[in-house]
Every structure is written in C-alpha cells, then in structure tokens.
Amino acid sequence: MTAYFITGTDTGVGKTRTSCALIHALRQVGHARVVGMKPVAAGCDWVLDDDGAGGQWLNEDVVALRAASSLKVPSRFDNPYALPEPASPHIAAKLADEVIDLAHIEASFHALRQHADAVVVEGAGGFIVPLHEPASGAEGAHFGHADVGEWATSADLASRLRLPVILVVGLRLGCLNHALLTQEAVLSRGLKLAGWVANVIDPEMPHQAANLATLQARLQAPMLAHWAWDRQAEPADLARSLRLP
C-alpha cells in the first residue's frame, strides 16, 4: 500500500492542488483504488443531505479530494474532523467543543489502508500547526507542566503515521526560510522527505528563478513538479507533469 503525507510551507500554498494531482498521478500509473484523506478540515459549510433530512459540515478541500479519488469511503474515515471555523485547527476545535485525537486519526488512516491501494494524506496548514491544546490549565502548559496535558501538532500526526513527506513550497517572497525550516522539522523527526513541489502563488515574485535554484540546491529531496500560476489548472492535467517519488 502506497501512502504519502502532504505538508506545506504555510496555509494556502497549494497542498490540496498537489494532493489531488498526486491522486490522479497514482491512478494514471495503475493504482485502481486511491483515496485522499484530510484528517482535520477547518473552515466548513453546513451542507444538507440530498433528502434534506440531515446534513454535514463540509470543507472545499475535502470536496476536491473526494472528486479526485477513485475510492469512495465514509466521511468519518477520510475526514474525521470537520470544523466550522476557518482558523488554526486547535482554535477551531475548541470553538466547536471538539477534541482532536491523534489516535482516532491514526485508526481512521489504518481503516483506509485496508481498502485502498494508495492513500494521500493532506495535513492542515503548515507542518507544525497546532491541532490540540491542553484542555485545562493552558497557562501552565506554556511552562511545561505535565498535569495539564500535551500540545499536539500536524508534525506529531505525521510522526505517528510514519509516512514519507511531500513538501509543497508556495513560491513567494519568504519561501526559502519557510521551506528550509520545514525541511529541518521533517528530518529532525526521522521522517523521509520524499520530494517537494514548487507551486507559484505570486506570479510577480521577484527573482523567482534564483529562488528556485536555491531551493533545488538546499532541499534534500527531488523536485517533483514546478507549476506556474494558473487557477484554472485541472488536477488530472497537473498530474502529467508530476514526478512520482
């Protein structure tokens, strides 16, 4: 079973674009059952069921991943936490009176593994975005008091899943620092950086070629794709220019 963890240098840098393209690329090379997973989605709209009797919180990234996937699964597996507020997951969870449990996410991932040939897991925000804060005594948590619980981040989730990581670098001013810091965070946890994608999000970025050359020299993994600014690009088309790790 093939699986990857997709992270980014920040929020809004193209993780979903990359995840959907990767799903299509895996399908194009012969994986029949490929599914995308968004463990935590913050920023959801309430969508009624077809019969109007019920509904669910739904995030646009989750919709895109499901459209790209060839395997349809219950929402509790591919999106265990759907949170209404468009905020950092730990804040959105607190506002929704939810507790993001990494063990529950891990169990959902392993349930997907039983049925899929490949799973693409898209993280939330940047690599170390908080997912969970201590339930009480938060002031003490800042000083390492063990009795108030532990902080949990997207990096902790990646460490639990032990998947190779693909880093999406949003090409804009500041991306070098963000990319290199993320690489350090990934490698320091003993995870494999399987590759990275250069995704242009600022078409007016100065010295773009020089920045790209620096990334190629400093990131310790192959560049899997370099995508220009194009809001209309379809994931299946992007997949054809995506090099699989």
CATH code of the domain covering residue 53: 3.40.50.300
Helix axes 208-218, 175-188, angle to 10 degrees: 10
207 falls within a domain:
yes
- The one-digit pLDDT tens for each residue of the chain (245 residues) are 899 999 999 999 999 999 999 999 999 999 999 999 999 999 999 999 877 778 899 999 999 999 999 999 999 999 999 999 999 999 999 999 999 999 999 999 999 999 999 999 999 999 999 999 887 644 444 434 333 468 999 999 999 999 999 999 999 999 999 999 999 999 999 999 999 999 999 999 999 999 999 999 999 999 999 999 898 899 999 999 999 99
Is residue 42 within 8 Å of residue 158, measured between CB atoms?
A: no
Q: For the range 64-69, what are the long-range contacts, defined as Cβ-Cβ under 8 Å and sequence gap of 24 or more? A: 64/16, 64/20, 64/235, 65/16, 65/19, 65/20, 65/23, 65/36, 65/37, 65/38, 65/120, 65/122, 66/36, 67/20, 68/19, 68/20, 68/23, 68/24, 68/36, 68/235, 69/23, 69/34, 69/35, 69/36
245 falls within a domain:
no
37 falls within a domain:
yes
10 falls within a domain:
yes
Nearest 5°: the CA angle 40, 4, 165 is: 90
Q: How many domains does the chain have?
A: 1
130: DSSP letter: E
Nearest 5°: the CA angle 78, 21, 165 is: 70
Task: Find, among 116, 224, 210, the residue nearest to 169 by Cα.
Answer: 224
Q: How far apart are CA 50 and CA 28, in angstroms?
A: 32
12 falls within a domain:
yes
Range of the domain at 70: 2-239
244 falls within a domain:
no
Q: What is the pLDDT of residue 149?
A: 60
Task: Find, among 166, 160, 167, 159, the residue nearest to 191 by Cα.
Answer: 159
Q: Which residues are catalytically annotated? A: 38
Residue in the structure block whose two tokens are 């219950």 = 74
208: tokens are 């773009």
Sign of CA dihedral 73, 74, 75, 81: negative
Is residue 5 within 8 Å of residue 124, measured between CB atoms?
A: no
Is residue 45 within 8 Å of residue 65, measured between CB atoms?
A: no
Q: What is the pLDDT of residue 1?
A: 85
95 falls within a domain:
yes
Is residue 21 within 8 Å of residue 4, measured between CB atoms?
A: no
Q: What is the pLDDT of residue 150?
A: 83
Which pTM value belongs to this model?
A: 0.93
